[in-house]
Amino acid sequence: MSRSACRARAIRRGPAGVNMGGLANNATWLAALAACCVAVSSRADEPRRELEPTVVTANRATTAAADVGAAVTVLDQRDIERRQSPFLAELLREVPGVSVNQTGAPGGFTSLRMRGANGFNTLVLIDGVEVSDPSGTQTSFDFAHLLASEVDRVEVLRGSQSTLYGGDAVGGVVNIITKRGQGPVRQQAQAEAGSFKTARLGYGASGGFNGGGFAFRFDRLVSSGFSAADQRDGNVENDPVRNTTVHGNVDLDLADNLGLSASLRAVDATFEFDGFPPPAFTLRDDDLVSEVTQRSGRLAATLSLLGGRLVNQLGLGHSINTRDNFRAGRPNFFADGRRLKLDYQGIYTHDASNRLVFGAEGEREGLETNTQSKTEIGIAALYAQYELKPWSPLTLTLGGRLDSHETFGEFDTYRATAAYRTPLAGLRLRTSYGTGFRAPSLFELFAAPFGNVDLQPETSRSWDAGFDYRLAGDRLELSVAYFDLRIEDRIAFVFGPGPNYFQVPGRTDTGGIEASARWQALASLALHAAYTYTDTKDTFDGARLPRVPRHVVNALAQQAFLAERASLALHARYVAGNADLDFARFPAPLVPLKDYLLLGLALSYKLTEGVEARARAENLLNRDYQEVLGYGTAGRAAYLGLALRF
């Protein structure tokens, strides 16, 4: 069937509209939470301490890192430049509690799992826009086309965050913030070439002007790649990728208390991949091409009232994800996913010890494929979180959320956190507890013949507890945490006559330990290490979850030399105890994947004040390994580049 013919089908929508009346009637407890701030004794004589660093994602408001009870990792420009990788997913692999799976060569679907939860349990934001694809089998974000050069800062928030961010944030949140403009106009240009006939070019400009600022970035990457299906299985055809990314943003100060911001991002990518062609229907070389289009944007107005104590923001975000697949040059699949979201958030600071974050959201998301006529669904929500400092070292938060889903009615979630700066200098304790839910995706519900309209939302609860310790004048930082996540009524897929999606009885348990250390051993030598242990179990059959390694170790040593004009970074990753489902057999058994150790390095040298030469090498030991059963990975590779700043 042609794409135009598919689009001509009648539009099918979900059941009755969002129940706003019921949402309001059942929001009394949220209103009570909002009102409680006036009942707490104020301590205006103790100003809120602004400690560095700060994070935004944990509480949806700028908060000193020492006052955050949730587990959060911040990656900034120094981390991105040190790694030199073109794809942000490579840097995210180094975050404790995070594992990344990529199906073969660059361009292949790249999923991020947090604390053992599936990739669709992680909410991804880019400049405030939720960028997951509603047309996917599950509503998730594909990291394959996200280039690192457009990113200024990433905050990775682990644990259930459904109270502040909605149903997709069961495992956590990845908040990606692109570069903003301020100060004098600055320009950057990069060029790199290397293995697999890879080349990339980039140019960016940013700066401030009277009453605002701007930033713009353009990137182009091409690579011949390698076979998506593992070459060791006799697959020799390379699967190339091409990626063009453009993004920009503008900030305007319309008045002393009124600001306007706008951001736009566009990605056009084309990549080849391998499939399961007849007659064997096993993964092997195939003549498949996918054209991916991603568009996202957001317009937001911020109004400050009551002398800055009440900050209001109204935002409108839109995202589009389209995929057109071709076999032997002929169209064989298309998917179109769209999301429109209107949101309001208020931040009221009563005094130094009491702060309230509250808001409302309404969104519609829809999909259309060559086998599924246009289907839409809506959801609305109210949320509030109260932050209290009963005394200076202790910060508590309590939040609640009420979602009204067009199909499944109302769901309430809540979260509580605590952070305590102990009398022992540099030591703080933290803990968090939260509940969550994930509604079935549009594909899981309606896609014929696989969908199942009788599915119900997954529910979850998670908690963690840990400590952070800074000593030796902050030259040494240690973090250790235990986490536990339980998901009930998990939705799974089984081969056979449709419907193929079903609710797994019982629950899925994941638990483990996250540990990290940063040591500035010398003024010129920095050492980083992170370890994650994850144990997973499905109580239905007692099996481990696929694609969740039991052990992941990351290590980094970075040495500056030649009067800090040069820098050498050596990074290592060890992965053990991973397994995946073998779909070549029925029923698909869980088979172990080989443990592996990867080594890489990145070298930079400042030729002049604004010119830097770069070199990097990946998989120095030329290890053969798999992240996803049957899919290949890159062997030893090397790249040379040049970066200009002017």
Q: For residue range 141-165, what is the model confidence (pLDDT) as tens digits? A: 999 999 999 899 999 999 999 999 9
Which tops the pLDDT comparison, 19 or 378?
Answer: 378
* E strand spans, 60-103: 63-64, 71-75, 98-102
**pLDDT at residue 26 greater than cutoff 80:** no
Output the pTM of the full model: 0.90
Question: Look-up: residue for tokens 């317009």?
Answer: 299
**pLDDT at residue 51 greater than cutoff 50:** no
Euclidean distance between CA atoms 207 and 312, whole angstroms: 26
Bridge partners of 184, per DSSP, are none
Instruction: Report the pLDDT value the prediction gives residue 30, as an integer from 0 to 100.
Output: 41
**pLDDT at residue 24 greater than cutoff 80:** no
Instruction: Report the pLDDT value the prediction gives residue 588, as an integer from 0 to 100.
Output: 84
Average pLDDT over residues 99-104: 95
**pLDDT at residue 527 greater than cutoff 60:** yes
Bridge partners of 579, per DSSP, are 592
Bridge partners of 247, per DSSP, are 217, 265
Contact 576, 549 (CB under 8 A): yes
Is the CATH number of domain 3-645 3.40.640.10? Answer: no
Instruction: Report the pLDDT value the prediction gives residue 52, as an integer from 0 to 100.
Output: 56
**pLDDT at residue 5 greater than cutoff 70:** no
Euclidean distance between CA atoms 487 and 83, whole angstroms: 34
Average pLDDT over residues 304-314: 97
**pLDDT at residue 20 greater than cutoff 60:** no
**pLDDT at residue 218 greater than cutoff 70:** yes
Instruction: Report the pLDDT value the prediction gives residue 374, as an integer from 0 to 100.
Output: 87
% of the chain surpassing 70 pLDDT: 92
Bridge partners of 560, per DSSP, are 567
% of the chain surpassing 90 pLDDT: 80
Residue type, 372: Q
Contact 131, 341 (CB under 8 A): no
Average pLDDT over residues 452-465: 94
Encode pLDDT of 57-74 as tens digits.
999 999 999 999 999 999
| Lowest-pLDDT range of 234-243, 302-311, 532-541, 635-644 | 532-541
**pLDDT at residue 50 greater than cutoff 70:** no
Question: Look-up: residue for tokens 């301490």?
Answer: 49
Instruction: Report the pLDDT value the prediction gives residue 33, as an integer from 0 to 100.
Output: 39
Instruction: Report the pLDDT value the prediction gives residue 541, as an integer from 0 to 100.
Output: 79
- Which two three-digit tokens encode residue 389? 């400092």
Average pLDDT over residues 192-218: 96
3-state secondary structure of 362: strand
**pLDDT at residue 18 greater than cutoff 60:** no
Closest C-alpha to 422, from 398, 391, 447, 446: 391
**pLDDT at residue 530 greater than cutoff 60:** yes
3-state secondary structure of 217: strand
Bridge partners of 291, per DSSP, are 270, 324
- Report domain extents, the chain: 3-645
